[in-house]
Amino acid sequence: MKYAIVDAFTATLFKGNPAAVCFVDNWPVEQVMQQIACENRLSETAFARQLTPTHYQLRWFTPGGEIDLCGHATLASGYLIFRFRAPGQAQITFTTQSGDLVVTKQQDWYAMQFPSYALQPTPVTPAMTAALGVTPQAAYLGRDLLCVVAREQLVRNLAPDQARLKSLPGLLQHVTAAGQDYDCVSRSFGPKLAIPEDPVCGSGHCHIVPYWAQRLHRNQISAYQASARGGELRCALQGQHVQLCGQAVLYVQGTLTL
């Protein structure tokens, strides 16, 4: 099984969000894919099965289970296909649990079209304050919980209580604020999926971008994920979809022996 690790949403090695990508001829049993994801100890491992040179099926596994959408592992998969499997092509389609996802190559950047999540306001609770160590100004719920805080530095200084985060609604929990050098700065946490912090969360920005697009009254949003590794996204709200653009860099590739 061909295997690689790519740092996504960055052009610098050891920054961004590392994702493992495994290319398979046929799907391994789910238990094996889950074991591989646990062995990798990364936030996500993608499994890609080729249908045509530019069309793949794609699945994502965290150490805590399979998920229905993952931005950085999709970017990593697209990067590898464009570079090694379909050089000269401009577009790749991935068939996933969330529908068909299209990745296009734009020089050194890769653009992905993802479905946006409808956000519903939800009350700010004492449990949120206890888990985050700061009281959100507002909170919204889609697939994930999005908490808005007053200042960028509050996002950067967060040291959340992982056990208490698990009690909050949403599959993941995101905290965001207006940025100084970017439109927004955010961090993402996934203790329910055995991910204490997702270094750069693409699917999280399918919540974050719709919020800031409405708040700032424009569709183009520059975003920074303020984890220890850090990562940059160029985003756009396009109707019911979010375009996420990022760079990627190869860390390692080889063969996984089962």
Residue positions annotated with a catalytic role: 44
Q: Which residues have a Cβ under 8 Å from the Cβ of 217 and sit 6 or more positions away?
A: none
